[in-house]
């Protein structure tokens, strides 16, 4: 077996691993990258990229049926489901070179297309080589959770890893799970001509702001998606083309295809973490605030971090935290307070920081909730897309969370993510000038509502203005 040494060994070529490897290599470190599956990981091949490509096609189809309120005659979209999947595959193919072996080797990274396993605290075996590194970054990502539901092992089903390969349109798609993946796929497939039923054990979009989630759920139901809440799946039966799900309360749901979207589980099985002295908890790797494992020479980032946020952009953020430490020896700590997330339904739902319910529980009477509806935004009115609102949670003049639901919410939440990351005062937001007419004006309006009672319903201010007016020339 060949013995190899390097400064930094990265295990996993998903979003986080690629960011660490490229950054470290371009700074002059000797980097080895291991990936036994596909470069780009889940996000490129079966997650963010294909799902958004599918949603884009579905939105194009849905737009054909709209427009009567603008004087445009609606038309029925002719959907070629196989061609839609060709579009999805083409989008992946266009982005793939950026994550390819060739590109990373061009950056100076040694790429080994094999899985790795620890044989010691800083030693990993892969592809007939024993690699010893000064620092190791574990970034192996996650895979779909397949729970032990009775009969599920005997019935054909899809996950996000297989759903994009379907070439024939499902007649009736059953979806287990009403989280972001389930709801996005529900709307996309409904708009592409499928009957869709979402089966959710608790509340759909239950981790999001309840008021905002209700608006999204109402929109999907309005498009013909059946959403059954409080329907904990107990058993699955049938065969390809005729599948039935039975919930614990006795409800039965019949369809032709089944998508399991019930969460994610970290990819840790192959790693032999115990041989490196790396502790796990709650199905993930235990890390400190600096993302170091119990073995201080090994970092863990992204979906595999126990109790962490499973988003591509979090893995990228983690990569920056690790690079600062591994390359420059500078202490850096990860935080989640300013991390945004979005569900790309129509309307979109985006959040950063605390939801209203979380903020009320944490801050009590100190909390002020600011709100502005898109119905009062001129651009939204002009586009006949006024559903939704922006809500900001403020404590002592500083935002601690923001919720946006409506068209383009995922693009707009970045503004409030910046505000939280920089600990900005709400007055700084109120003082900005936005171009007119834009949807983003709603955020200046939200901030302005913080000062409305302080200026217009304040007797002291009224007295001061009247007094000053008497003395002004």
266: annotated binding-site residue? no
Backbone φ and ψ of 113, nearest 5° = -85, 65
Is 140 known as a binding-site position? yes
19 is in an annotated binding site: no
CA 45 remoteness from chain centre: 15
The two three-digit tokens of residue 461, written as one number: 């201010």
352: nearest Cα among 301, 407, 308, 409? 409
15 assigned to a ligand binding site: no
Query: Is 52 labeled as ligand-binding?
Result: yes
Q: Is 353 annotated as a binding residue?
A: no
Compute the distance between CA of residue 354 and CA of residue 333 in angstroms, rounded to an integer: 20
Q: Say if residue 38 carries a ligand binding annotation.
A: no
CB atoms within 10 A of CB 272: 16
Is 241 one of the annotated binding-site residues? no
The answer to whether the annotation marks 335 as part of a ligand binding site is no
Encoded tokens for 167: 């070439």
Element (H, E) at 75: none
Would you say 116 is a known binding-site residue? yes
First-to-final CA distance of the chain: 91
Residue 95 is assigned to a ligand binding site: no
Beta bridge partners of 312: none
| 417 token code pair | 């993510």
Residue 74 in marked binding region: no
- Comparing CA positions, the residue from 262, 248, 200 lying closest to residue 228 is 200
Q: Would the annotation count 280 as a binding residue?
A: no
DSSP for 163-201, please give it: GGG--S--SEEEEE--SHHHHHHHHHHHHTT-EEEEE-S
Cβ contact 176:261 at 8 Å: yes
Any known ligand binding at 2?
no
Nearest in space to 137 (alpha carbons), one of 281, 276, 297 = 297
Residue 74 preceded by cis peptide, ω within 30: no
Is the distance from CB of 10 to CB of 34 less than 8 angstroms? yes
What are residue 31's phi and psi, to 5 degrees? -120, 135
The first and second tokens of residue 285, run together, are 């790797």
Check the annotation: does 141 bind a ligand. yes
Q: Any binding-site annotation on 223?
A: no
The two three-digit tokens of residue 129, written as one number: 């080589």
Q: Residue 44 is encoded by which pair of tokens?
A: 């490129």
CB atoms under 10 Å from CB of 160, counted, come to 23
Report the binding-site residues for NAD(+): 177-184, 200, 263
Report the binding-site residues: 52, 116, 140-142, 177-184, 200, 263, 303
Report the binding-site residues for FAD: 52, 116, 140-142, 303
């Amino acid at each position: 077996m060949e013995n190899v040494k390097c400064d930094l060994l990265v295990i996993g070529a998903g979003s986080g691993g690629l960011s660490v490897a490229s950054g470290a290599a371009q700074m002059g470190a000797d980097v080895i990258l291991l990936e036994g599956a596909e470069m780009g990981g889940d996000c490129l091949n079966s997650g963010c990229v294909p799902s958004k490509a599918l949603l884009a096609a579905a939105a194009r189809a849905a737009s054909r049926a709209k427009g009567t309120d603008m004087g445009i005659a609606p038309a029925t979209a002719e959907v070629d489901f196989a061609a839609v999947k060709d579009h999805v595959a083409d989008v992946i193919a266009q982005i793939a070179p950026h994550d390819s072996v060739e590109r990373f080797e061009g950056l100076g990274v040694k790429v080994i297309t094999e899985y790795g396993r620890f044989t010691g605290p800083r030693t990993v075996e892969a592809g007939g080589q024993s690699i010893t590194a000064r620092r190791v970054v574990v970034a192996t990502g996650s895979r779909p959770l397949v729970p032990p539901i009775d009969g599920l092992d005997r019935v054909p089903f899809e996950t996000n890893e297989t759903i994009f390969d379907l070439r024939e349109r499902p007649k009736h798609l059953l979806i287990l799970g009403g989280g972001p993946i389930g709801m996005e796929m529900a709307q996309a497939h409904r708009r592409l001509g499928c009957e869709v039923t979402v089966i959710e054990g608790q509340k759909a979009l239950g981790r999001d702001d309840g008021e905002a989630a209700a608006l999204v759920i109402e929109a999907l139901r309005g498009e013909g998606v059946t959403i059954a809440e409080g329907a904990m799946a107990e058993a699955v039966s049938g065969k390809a083309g005729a599948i039935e799900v039975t919930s614990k309360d006795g409800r039965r749901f019949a369809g032709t295809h089944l998508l399991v979207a019930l969460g994610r589980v970290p990819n840790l099985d192959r790693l032999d973490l115990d041989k490196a002295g790396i502790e796990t908890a709650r199905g993930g790797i235990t890390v400190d605030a600096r993302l170091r494992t119990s073995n201080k020479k090994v970092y863990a980032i992204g979906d595999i971090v126990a109790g962490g946020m499973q988003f591509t952009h979090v893995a990228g953020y983690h990569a920056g935290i690790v690079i600062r430490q591994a390359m420059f020896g500078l202490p850096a700590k990860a935080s989640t307070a300013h991390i945004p997330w979005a569900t790309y339904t129509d309307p979109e739902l985006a959040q950063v920081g605390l939801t209203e319910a979380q903020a009320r529980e944490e801050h009590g009477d100190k909390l002020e909730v600011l709100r502005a509806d898109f119905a009062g935004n001129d651009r939204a009115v002009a586009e006949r897309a006024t559903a939704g609102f922006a809500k900001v949670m403020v404590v002592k003049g500083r935002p601690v969370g923001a919720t946006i639901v409506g068209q383009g919410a995922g693009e707009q939440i970045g503004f409030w993510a910046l505000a939280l990351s920089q600990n900005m005062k709400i007055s700084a937001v109120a003082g900005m000038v936005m171009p007119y007419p834009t949807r983003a004006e709603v955020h200046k309006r939200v901030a302005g509502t913080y000062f409305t009672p302080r200026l217009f319903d304040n007797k002291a201010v009224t007295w001061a203005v009247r007094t000053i007016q008497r003395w002004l020339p």
